[in-house]
Amino acid sequence: MTPAATVTFCLRLLRRQLVLGLRRPVELGNPLLFFAMVVALFPLGLGPAPDTLAAFAPGILWIVALLSNLLTSDAVFRSDLEDGSLEQLLLAPQPLYFSALAYVLAHWLLTGLLLGLASPLFALMLGLAPGAIPALAASLLLGTAVLSLIGGIGAALTVGLKRGGMLISLLILPFYMPVLIFGSGAVQAALNGNPAGPFLAILGALLCMSIALAPMAIAAGLRISVDT
Amino acid sequence: MYFNSLAAALQMDGHGAFVWSAYFITIGVVAMMVYAPRRREQRFLRQLEGQIRRSEGGNPPGASKEV
Amino acid sequence: MTDGGAADGVLLSASGLSLERGGRELFSGISLQLRRGQLVQIEGANGAGKTSLLRILAGLSRYGFAGHVEHRAAQLFLGHQSAVKGLLTPRENLAWHVAGEADFSAAEIDAALAAVNLYGYEDVPSHALSAGQHRRVNLARLYLSRAPLWLLDEPFTAIDRAGVGALEVRLLQHLEQGGGVLLTSHQPVTLAYPLLRLDLATGTLQ
Amino acid sequence: MWTLFHKFGSPPWLYRLSGSILRWLLPITLLALVGGAVWGVLFTAPDFRQGNSYRIIYIHVPAAVVALAGYYVMAIAGAVSLIWRMKMADIAMRACAPIGAALTFVALVTGSIWGKPTWGTWWVWDARITSMLILLFLYLGVVALYEAYENKALAAKACAILSLVGTVNIPIIYKSVDWWYSLHQPASIKFTGGSTIDPSMLYPLLFMITAFYCLFTCALLLNMRVEILQREQRTAWVRALANKGAAG
């Protein structure tokens, strides 16, 4: 009897991660709740004037999405390291590259996808022009996938450390910056009546590159983190 | 020499404070970059030498020992 | 036992392994060949590096040691931790296990769980089980796995006497079928089978 | 080729080599830095638009250039450490981070000082300065990651991966920041382009860039020497060195 084929195995991992996420619905809602709360902070800090808020909305929404992604990234591999699943994963005969991709995909489905789908609601709360909402949702869907991949690198490098929580932000926030620039750029362009397509295309290119490269870094990072 | 006098060089038409402070900060950082590792090296060798002297008699030279 | 393993029956071969931690040499010059049908116990005092050696042999530790390890067969590694997810049932834990083995049928999994005395617990969320039961869910993999090479870190800890007995029976069965077992254990291994001991202090296999 | 490679893996050999290199390179570097600075500050004509404040360029640009190059040196050392598992590459990588951070810091501070007379404010979110700020974050991230690991051999591997990720990302970050700046750029703020620089200003600048590269090399070797001694402190040659140092 031979080990499972790589595709079968990745689907198995994906299903496992999704079931694990869905059995804790509250934790699934936490990033969204965080998003809502931070969005609520801005009117309190900037004043409730609709014009100001609408002008800052693309940046605000993108920064909050970035932070909520950052907060959840730390947990991608942590429980698996703590209960010993991670070392079993590393010993699996299938390439770790694809396993890492499956983990990140599960993370994106449980955070970024939900955030992208829920973002129109928050956009309306900040008074973003309805015309820019499709660009916001599309840029968030593409961009958070890149963020999840980059966050996975940070998680893989810090999962073995006792105090990784703050460190992961320091490591990966610089790498988040291009995504923030192009993501909020897409929304801004839509606001100004320009096509958002070029920005989404750049985000798509970033996504392709991250899919190709990030799992390698994640795999290497995990091998280091398990090697105690 | 572009400047006519020392005072002119220091003044630089009002920009002197900026230019000179930038250069002095750089000198400070460069000095640290060169000085700090040299000092660490000297200090480390001194520490190690003391350690070896303390353990002399107990361990032959070159033997591994607990730090 | 069909898959893996070279013609000479060597499952795992390692040479010249040495490890240094925090400026202290844990072991050095360990060479080892595990063949089919061999049972090897790694011996050493607490902190002698038994688990470290096992992790190096498993391929989990890749940096910081000297020497060479070569796997010639599929391996099953059971570590200190059970790798059991509290949110999943024992059945799901085994069916979706991250170790990447073949797909097991529900009947196979239930039989394995029954073999480790977890009959009737198949669909209970694992967080409702005790630590000892978690270990037994993990040990159920020994009944499912087709890997000829087993690396077991303290397999006898935290299971009751009946469990130890069943485990010994399973180990014997595996060895007689041509598998190889490398384990660490605090307790003396009382298996009716020739046991080789690897002493970490001297690096010799007896 | 391979014997040279193996020699680089030998700590005592590298220690002695770095000692003999530093003996002449360090004085030359310091002289060149002072000479280049004097040349740039006192012997060149002022810029017709920015006046004398542009003289900061002779430290700002070299520091920025070498800081960026230093990141690549660090990443290459990291790749060598990951692929060939060379201890000396670990040490070189570890030594790069604080030096690069210091140079980035110099570039940022001098850029900020330059900004005051030029733009009337200490800090402008200009593309170049923003990129340097991100570079500083990247360097500090490597330092923080290294310090967080207790096992220094693993720390070096983790930092190697991080710096390789950074290498891929730096061009993207720079391009995106450039683009972001051009989108938001207020019309009144314009930087003198590097390509239009007058030769009389260019030569001292190139000279200073070379001097800063030498400075980077010196600092790298100096830091590596300390690290080599600390890692090899139980070997006979380091102990002999310590005894000799005490006697002499």
Q: Determine the structural domain holding residue A154 and report its residue range.
A: 6-226
Of A8, A19, A88, the CB nearest to C97: A88
d(CA D112, CA C82): 56
Taking CB atoms and an 8 Å cutoff, what residues of chain A touch D148?
158, 161, 163-164, 167
pLDDT the model gives residue D245: 66
Count Cβ–Cβ pairs < 8 Å, chain B vs chain C: 5
Residue A15 in domain: yes
ipTM summary value: 0.86
∠ at Cα C154 (C148, C160), nearest 5°? Answer: 105
CB contact under 8 A, A90 and C60: yes
Q: Is the pLDDT of residue C98 over 80?
A: yes
Residue-wise pLDDT for D187-207, tens only, equals 444 444 444 567 777 888 889
Residue D11 in domain: no
Q: Is the pLDDT of residue C181 over 70?
A: yes
Measured over the CA atoms of residue C141, residue C142, residue C144 and residue C148, the dihedral's sign is positive
d(CA C182, CA C41): 6
Helix residue ranges, H only, chain A: 6-22, 25-46, 50-73, 78-82, 85-91, 96-110, 112-125, 133-158, 165-191, 197-226
Weakest-pLDDT range from A10-14, C190-194, D15-19? C190-194
Residue-wise pLDDT for D204-228, tens only, equals 888 999 999 999 999 999 999 998 8
From the number of C-beta atoms within 10 Å of its C-beta (0-12, 13-18, 19+), residue A55 rates as middle
Q: What percent of chain D has pLDDT over 90?
A: 33
d(CA A31, CA A29): 6
Residue C177: count of CB within 10 angstroms of its CB = 11
pLDDT the model gives residue B49: 85
Residue D75 in domain: yes
d(CA D61, CA D110): 9
∠ at Cα C75 (C124, D86), nearest 5°? Answer: 120
Q: Is the pLDDT of residue D4 over 70?
A: no
Average pLDDT (C37-43) is: 87
pLDDT the model gives residue D53: 76
Q: Which two tokens stand for residue D45?
A: 């004509």
Q: Which of A88, A224, A226 to mutate to test the interface with C (most CBs of C within 10 A)?
A: A88
Weakest-pLDDT range from A78-92, B13-27, D216-230? B13-27
Residue-wise pLDDT for D132-158, tens only, equals 999 999 999 999 999 898 888 889 999
- Which numeric CATH code is attached to C10-74+147-205? 3.40.50.300
Q: Is the pLDDT of residue C7 over 70?
A: no
Count Cβ–Cβ pairs < 8 Å, chain A vs chain D: 71
Averaged pLDDT of chain D: 84
Residue-wise pLDDT for D48-91, tens only, equals 667 777 788 888 889 999 999 999 999 999 999 888 888 888 88
Average pLDDT (D34-55) is: 78
Residue-wise pLDDT for A23-61, tens only, equals 988 888 888 999 999 999 998 988 888 888 888 889 999
Residue-wise pLDDT for B40-50, tens only, equals 989 988 888 88
* Confidence label for C4 from pLDDT (cuts 50, 70 and 90): very low
Q: Does D55 touch chain C (CB under 8 A)?
A: no
Q: Does D150 touch chain C (CB under 8 A)?
A: no
pLDDT the model gives residue B67: 43
CB contact at 8 A, D220 and D92? yes
Phi and psi for A207 in degrees, rounded to 5?
-65, -45
Q: Determine the structural domain holding residue D109 and report its residue range.
A: 56-233
Q: Hey, which chains touch D, using 3+ CB pairs under 8 Å?
A: A, B, C
User: In terms of pLDDT, which residue wins out, D236 or A185?
Assistant: A185
- Beta carbons within 8 Å of D31's beta carbon, 6+ residues apart: none
d(CA A167, CA A106): 23
Q: Is the pLDDT of residue B66 over 70?
A: no
Q: What percent of chain A has pLDDT over 70?
A: 99
Residue for token pair 């620039």: A181
Which sequence spans correspond to the domains of chain C?
10-74+147-205, 90-139
Average pLDDT (C39-67) is: 85
Q: Which amino acid is at C66?
A: A
Average pLDDT (A192-218) is: 93
Residues of C with CB under 8 A from a CB of B: 23-25
∠ at Cα D182 (D169, A193), nearest 5°? Answer: 105
Count of structural domains, chain D:
1
Taking CB atoms and an 8 Å cutoff, what residues of chain D touch C64?
151, 153-154
Q: CB-side exposure of A166: number of CA atoms within 13 Å?
A: 3
Which strand (E) or helix (H) includes residue C10? Answer: strand C10-21
- Beta carbons within 8 Å of A102's beta carbon, 6+ residues apart: A10, A11, A13, A14, A17
Q: CB-side exposure of C68: number of CA atoms within 13 Å?
A: 3
Count of structural domains, chain A:
1
Q: Which two tokens stand for residue B49?
A: 């030498």
CB contact at 8 A, C174 and C145? no
